[in-house]
Structure 1
Amino acid sequence: MANYQERFTKVIGFIESNLDSAIDVETLCEVAHISKFHFHRQCSAVFGVPVMSLVRLLRLKKAAYQLAFRADNKILSIAIDCGYESNAAFSRAFKKHFGMSPSEFRASPNWTHWESSYDPVIKLRKQTMSQENRFQVDVIELPEILVAAIEHRGLPNKLGETLARFITWRKLNKLPPSKSRTFNFIYDDPATTVPENYRFDIGCSIDQKVSDENFGIVNKKIPAGSYAMIKHIGSDDTLGEAIQFLVSDWITHSGYELRDFPITLERVSFFPEVSEHEMVTHVYLPIHNQNS
């Protein structure tokens, strides 16, 4: 029988897959295989909030991402997609949590309150990932890939603004994810880097060089060569564990050495288009043989 952390991770996954539907405690008890008499207390102990507060929390996260990064989505459509029966009910819940209306958040997203209330979910996901520790590493060859990117430099909590700017540029240039591969270049660990010095690039593949000073677009190349790759399935909450495994565990026993290029992420499927636990991200670590 799965332990309790794994059970509640399944509960999160079920909730994320059904945010547009009515969710009741009885169904969640069945998912967790826990008696209703004990479920509420155990859920509150794990997450620090009652189970239906957790449902509301995950609904509002999806809504916030759609508001911030999907400008074409109407607020009413977002409300319905996140399980609210009316715009008024959605607006009340959103403002109570974020301290601003959905339209105000869309105009100027502020994630500060969200990040603190979401900590228990992140903690559980990381604990479950750490216990499973089932990272499969494949060594692959990539050709050279030309990338148009926006360089984020500065506070990590401002990264959302850079992402929104990149999404706008991408739409204007008709480079959707279905046509153009999506990449991130990771230079620094936000846990050990002075926030003002944090560096992170957001880009997409292109056929030829482009120029757009208004958006700060720069041309970069992913060099051809060998890469250690992990196919990470799940929320970004646990991406750090996959990256840490590659750079501190796998590489020391692999017989390979690191090449001079940052860790690269390829975003294969995105939240909120898919549920967080269904996201797919390829983590690439540039390597070469020790004798080459």
Structure 2
Amino acid sequence: MHRYVQLARMKRASHRLAFTSAESVTAIAMDACYEAPDAFARAFRQRFGQSPSSFRKSPAWGPWLLAFGPLDTARSKRMPRTFTPDDVVIRDVAPTPVAILQHRGDPALLGATLQRFIAWREAAGLHPDTNPTFNIWRSERRPALPSDYSIDLCVGTEKPIDGAGGEVVPGVIPGGRCAVLRVVGDTGNLEPAALYLYRDWLPASGEELRDFPIYCQRLSLFPQVPEHAAVAELFLPLT
């Protein structure tokens, strides 16, 4: 249990290093319950092969993913996700204009794409508290070939986006009927919720899919909140 708690604290600390710039390494170390920055630095280097400051500048995502494999395995065994039809509501959703940064390729490189997305939205003044965050899955979470992995990182905005020559392009999440499933905690892995909607809820519902992929809105974001407090809603578009 102690190792599990340590891993969870270190995961949040590493996310704050990689995806936030306002917090100091010392503040992040203290919040992770280390008595001194040098103790945090030693533990961080031992686990990831980088110092906290080096990770903040240029994270090595491969060792990072390997380090948290035991945490994800333990979580899935200790806290398996279960859903029921009562957890799903059908909602009429309004169209949402968004700015999109596409990630195409190995999911192990998604962290670098997330860094660019967060940096762009900060520069554009599109804060998560005022402009909603969405992910649109264009592929399975674990496709047969990692190169086939595909996801759109989106922020809701009505500002004009000049997509000419840039990574960020304008788009719209279309309105319409959607089956909506809210997930609280560990929203980094929404696969169990998505599989429930596709494999269990949809065949029993009598509903039919619309020609738009499943997507989510992240209502409270890790690492701004601890993983157990993160909230996301999955949207399955229906005819």
Instruction: Normalising by structure 1, report the TM-score.
Output: 0.77
- 8 Å CA contact 1:122–1:237 kept in 2: the answer is no
Deviation string 1:160-210 (CA, Å, 9 cap, x unpaired) is 111111111111111101110110100111323411121101011111431
TM-superposed CA distance for 1:212, in Å, is 5.0
What corresponds to 2:17 in structure 1? 67
Inter-partner Cα distance in structure 2 for 1:254 and 1:69: 39
Distance 1:131 1:272, change over 3 A: closer
SS in structure 2 at match of 1:203: strand
Paired residues for 1:192-203 under 5 Å: 192-203=143-154
- Within the alignment, does 1:114 sit opposite 2:54 as a pair? no
Q: Per chain length, whose mean CA-contact separation is higher, i.e. which structure has more relative contact order (CA < 8 Å, sep 6+)?
A: 2
Picking from 69, 72, 83, the partner of 1:133 is 83
What corresponds to 1:260 in structure 2? 211
Instruction: Normalising by structure 2, report the TM-score.
Output: 0.93
Aligned residues: CA RMSD: 1.8
SS in structure 2 at match of 1:253: helix
TM-superposed CA distance for 1:69, in Å, is 0.4
What corresponds to 1:217 in structure 2? 168
Distance 1:88 1:215, change over 3 A: farther
Distance 1:152 1:79, change over 3 A: same
SS in structure 2 at match of 1:192: coil
Structure 2, unaligned runs of 5 or more: none
Across the two proteins, how many residue pairs are aligned to each other?
238
Paired residues for 1:1-292 under 5 Å: 51-127=1-77, 130=80, 132-134=82-84, 136-211=87-162, 213=164, 215-288=166-239
Runs of 4+ residues deviating >4 angstroms: 128-131, 212-215
Return 134-143 or 207-216, whichever deviates more. Answer: 207-216
- 8 Å CA contact 2:187–2:231 kept in 1: the answer is no
Q: Percent of pairs identical after alignment? A: 36
Deviation string 1:42-75 (CA, Å, 9 cap, x unpaired) is xxxxxxxxx4333322221111101110122211
What corresponds to 1:13 in structure 2? none
Larger helix proportion, structure 1 or 2?
A: 1
TM-superposed CA distance for 1:118, in Å, is 2.5
Larger Rg: 1
